Amino acid sequence: MTVSACNRSPLPTLYQEQRDGFVVIAHRGASGYAPENTLPAFQKALELNAEMIELDVMLSQDGVPVLFHDRELDRKTNGSGMVQDYTVEALQQLDAGTWFSEEFSGEKIPSLEEVLEWASGKISLNIEIKTEAWREDLEESIEPRVIRLVRDSEMSEHIIISSFDYRILRRLKELAPDLRTAVLYEQSQIGDKDPLTIVKELNAQAFNCSATQLTPEWMDQLQRAQIPVLVYTVNDPEVMKTLIQAGVSGIFSDYPDRLNLAVHNSR
Ligand code: G3P
Ligand code: MG
């Protein structure tokens, strides 16, 4: 029998639960200290006591979910052109570290499978699926592939999947209603609807938005409905403090150490 995620805690189970009702999320790993979406950034997040890692997933040409944020390779690797035009083998030959610093020269683009294997038993994940990974044809699209990898990793209880693309969120819920999802606020898709309406429509468990978008009205509405609000990307300790006091359930930061300190100072 499929157990609906709605009957459980809306947020994933954390491996290092601090029981403070707040989640310290390393944005693309501890991306202030190491190249984003790479294993060193994830290792650093763990060392800095992040409770969850957010990562971005796209599809290689041969249909493998890989970690990358930008549609094009140019800014964050020594390659050029679209990620989706490269096989996973070709992507993994690129250098995804030198752009950040020489110290990370030769760092690889990880596959989602490699990261799940690394994270299992260590740290929860927010897997953000990029809109570039959507394919009209289900067989070609990213959703069934991510679902299979998550299930195989046996980390389902420790994962939430988010997207700005509501076609992806809809499909995820159709295929795997037990997996937790979070709506990433995207004005062009939401239109005049309020966040709570869209969270309910998509049967999602959480609402993610940028710190600049969040309003007191949204916060009030979502809190009343007991929908966790996760806010990105906050690196300023004063802004962290304001948001924590406003009652957000988690913050995505490139500096999880600063965020841990802000949580401590806000108690
Ligand atoms: O998932 C939160 C945040 O990462 C969304 O924006 O562009 O940093 O992926 P972006
Ligand atoms: Mg992201």
H-state helical runs in the chain: 39-47, 88-91, 112-119, 143-153, 166-175, 187-190, 195-201, 216-224, 237-246, 256-266
Write the pLDDT tens digit of every residue in 173-206. 999 999 999 999 998 888 889 999 999 999 999 9
CB 71 less than 6 A from any atom of ligand 1:
no
Q: Residue 56 Cα, ligand 2 centroid: separation in angstroms?
A: 5
Domain extent at residue 260: 5-266
Query: What integer best gives the mean pLDDT of the chain?
Result: 95
Domain tally, the chain: 1
Write the pLDDT tens digit of every residue in 100-121. 999 999 999 999 999 999 999 9
Give the mean model confidence (pLDDT) for residues 79-92.
Answer: 98
Model pLDDT, residue 20: 85
Specify the pTM: 0.96
Q: Which of 23, 25, 27, 83 to mutate to test the pocket of ligand 1 (most atoms within 8 A of CB)?
A: 27
Model pLDDT, residue 7: 57
Ligand approaching nearest to the C-alpha of 56: 2
| Residue with the two structure tokens 């108690």 | 267
The CATH number assigned to the domain holding 87 equals 3.20.20.190
Count other C-beta atoms under 10 Å from residue 227's C-beta.
Answer: 21
